[in-house]
Structure 1
């Protein structure tokens, strides 16, 4: 599955639980940016546990 961020073709490895919006699946790079926002909870997707600390 591809990262759901517009213009990114990287593989999604993290599901972000965003309280004010729908959950999204993104690559580790975008997950790092999103994870800094209050309330966002990143969770590694099955099989990608090594891609997210």
Structure 2
């Protein structure tokens, strides 16, 4: 969750952006964002695989 706060200090999410998060606690920081994808497994490789399907 802290990494989300730091990321958003430098980047403003756009409506068309797609965001992949590694777990529920991270997702809670972005609840108002409609293009939010949560990895089923909390592993970085799983997040990368999910992100590749969204391209």
Question: Does TM, scored on the shorter chain, surpass 0.5?
Answer: no
Flag the structure with higher strand content: 1
Q: Which has the larger radius of gyration?
A: 2
Flag the structure with higher helix content: 2
